[in-house]
Structure 1
């Protein structure tokens, strides 16, 4: 195993900077996910590490071995890097059995027959595909093919593992099972891993750290809990999970707290380490699960505020209801077990745990 260092990485396609000065240090044995929407630069970054794309500038090293150094003109071809890469499409040879597919990289490396046999058996056991060694890819489910593709990568003992949306071709239930299996496998392997996905659930459940990318740059790098609970900007807050945004004006500031006036004149009190000055335009961000329907007669308390919103829609999503609300022109989403029956609902919003972003123009689209 080895650590991975990406320093000042730049990759251009014409006038577009697909990767724009990206620097990441992945520790030995760490599982780091590159997360973001299509076109954010995550797959291009992975391809640069694998050697499939030659960057325009920067430096990439794995365990002290230089993969790429733009300033010195160093570029190691993919076959010399020792990376394990699993693609979105499994790219299995249809005319080869599972065992033969797994054996293929060892054959290319001229590994002796006895050692090949041992490694194939070992890695098929690791991915729980031993009973399928003599089957062909068309005889396997998507999840099983994904395991074979991973086994083919692990069998030659790569220095780092690169996974490019390996679960995206699976249906929802199979994807959920594969995610659980992959989480167990990564714990057993302890292999330095870069995982690319646009799926936030995969990122949150699998990663030691997440790199959220936007427009070729790193928007935020942190643990799953940091990313979810303390997003760096409205883009991260909106992309990870579901977030409600309300434009507001700071009506008053006192002792690490701010009183906000919403668009319809209602006021809420929010704790803030560094509250903006009085009169500033801000964006209040909070998760649907942070709100609840206020009890009958319940009013504002030192722990939270009560506001009234108009009910727009009710959708049953299995065990819970998603309720669409309008608060002075600002849309909200609430998740509760019992839907409201009235046209308006009183909501309790906690004083702590919400986030203030400066400037109403920073609202997520």
Structure 2
């Protein structure tokens, strides 16, 4: 295991900056996820670490080994980097048994026969696939193939593990089980790991830290709780989980208690506690998670929050919960509730603490 350091990493394809000045340190034994939409640069960054992509500039080191240094003209070949890479497609040899797939990296490294036998048994036991050594890939489920691919990577004991969307080819239920299994495995291994995904649930469930990427750059780095509860901007708030955005204008600047009063479309007002210091008249966007908004009876606002009225546009039963779509002056909202409703309008309680205020109104129509 070793610490990974990425400094000022760039990768250009002509005029396109696929990776733009990435700086990241991953501690020894840390599990870090690169998360973002397609085209954000996460897989290109992973490829640069593995040596499958030659960066335009910057520096990558693992421990004391320099993988890449643009200024010094250093580019270590992929086979010279002690990285373990699990592809999205698993890339198992179809004509080889499970045993032969897993032993293959050790054969290439000319490991002794007795040591190969011991390591293969150890790796297959780690992924709970000992009973399937004689089977071929086509005789395995998708989840089993994923485990074999991981065993084949772990068998030669890499310094750093790179996982490129390894669960994306599994169906929803199998992906959920595989995620639980992978979380247990990472705890046992304690291996420095970079995980690439566009699935926010995977990122939140597995990671020590999440690196949210957008347009080739890092939008935010933080723990799952920090990323979810305190997104740095509207993009992160919109990409991680479900967020309701409300366009508004500052009616009263923060007072002694730090609360800002915002006027929403149609003249309704809410109060929100924010670290930002907007001034009266500023155009802003408020962000609330659906779980922060509660349906309440008409009447005075409960302490610690404000009440707004919104028009019901849709409702759908999703198993034990109802998803309600609403409209507030052109801003779409979505909430979940245990109670069905036939009302044309609903009163919603929004907490003073918990919502986030962003400057401008560029994110108000992102849903």
Fold-level similarity (TM above 0.5): yes
Q: Distance in 2 between matches of 1:52 and 1:297?
A: 60
Deviation sequence 1:263-284 (CA, Å, 0-9, x none): 1100001111233111111000
The answer for the alignment partner of 2:288 in structure 1 is 286
The answer for the alignment partner of 2:191 in structure 1 is 191
User: After superposition, where does 1:105-116 map in structure 2 within 5 Å?
Assistant: 105-116=105-116
Deviation sequence 1:319-364 (CA, Å, 0-9, x none): 1111000111111001101122210011111110000000113436
Q: Distance in 1 between matches of 2:4 and 2:364?
A: 35
Aligned-pair distance for 1:58? 0.2
Unaligned stretches of 5+ in structure 2? Answer: none
Q: Distance in 2 between matches of 1:107 and 1:363?
A: 57
The answer for the alignment partner of 2:174 in structure 1 is 174
User: After superposition, where does 1:257-272 map in structure 2 within 5 Å?
Assistant: 257-272=259-274
After TM superposition, the runs of 4+ consecutive aligned structure 1 residues lying more than 2 A away are 361-365
User: After superposition, where does 1:37-76 map in structure 2 within 5 Å?
Assistant: 37-76=37-76
Aligned-pair distance for 1:78? 0.3
Deviation sequence 1:294-335 (CA, Å, 0-9, x none): 1x3542244000110000000111111110001111110011
Deviation sequence 1:233-264 (CA, Å, 0-9, x none): 00000000000000000000212110110011
Answer yes or no: is the 8 Å Cα contact 1:302–1:351 preserved in 2: no
Q: Distance in 1 between matches of 2:145 and 2:287?
A: 41
The answer for the alignment partner of 1:139 in structure 2 is 139
Aligned-pair distance for 1:153? 0.1
TM-score normalised to structure 1 length: 0.98
Answer yes or no: is the 8 Å Cα contact 1:310–1:343 preserved in 2: yes
RMSD, aligned α-carbons: 0.8
TM-score normalised to structure 2 length: 0.98
- Decide which moves more: 326-335 or 177-186: 326-335
Answer yes or no: is the 8 Å Cα contact 2:332–2:365 preserved in 1: no
Answer yes or no: is the 8 Å Cα contact 1:238–1:364 preserved in 2: no
Answer yes or no: is the 8 Å Cα contact 2:331–2:364 preserved in 1: no
Answer yes or no: is the 8 Å Cα contact 2:298–2:347 preserved in 1: no
Q: Distance in 2 between matches of 1:12 and 1:325?
A: 43
Q: Distance in 2 between matches of 1:346 and 1:274?
A: 27
User: After superposition, where does 1:94-105 map in structure 2 within 5 Å?
Assistant: 94-105=94-105
Answer yes or no: is the 8 Å Cα contact 1:234–1:364 preserved in 2: no
Aligned-pair distance for 1:3? 0.5
The answer for the alignment partner of 2:322 in structure 1 is 321
Aligned-pair distance for 1:165? 0.3
Answer yes or no: is the 8 Å Cα contact 2:249–2:263 preserved in 1: yes
The answer for the alignment partner of 1:309 in structure 2 is 310
Q: How many residues align?
A: 364
Answer yes or no: is the 8 Å Cα contact 2:50–2:81 preserved in 1: yes
User: After superposition, where does 1:212-223 map in structure 2 within 5 Å?
Assistant: 212-223=212-223
**1:91 aligns to 2:91 (yes or no):** yes
The answer for the alignment partner of 1:274 in structure 2 is 276
What SS does structure 1 have at the residue aligned with 2:251? strand
The answer for the alignment partner of 1:232 in structure 2 is 232
Q: Distance in 1 between matches of 2:302 and 2:185?
A: 47
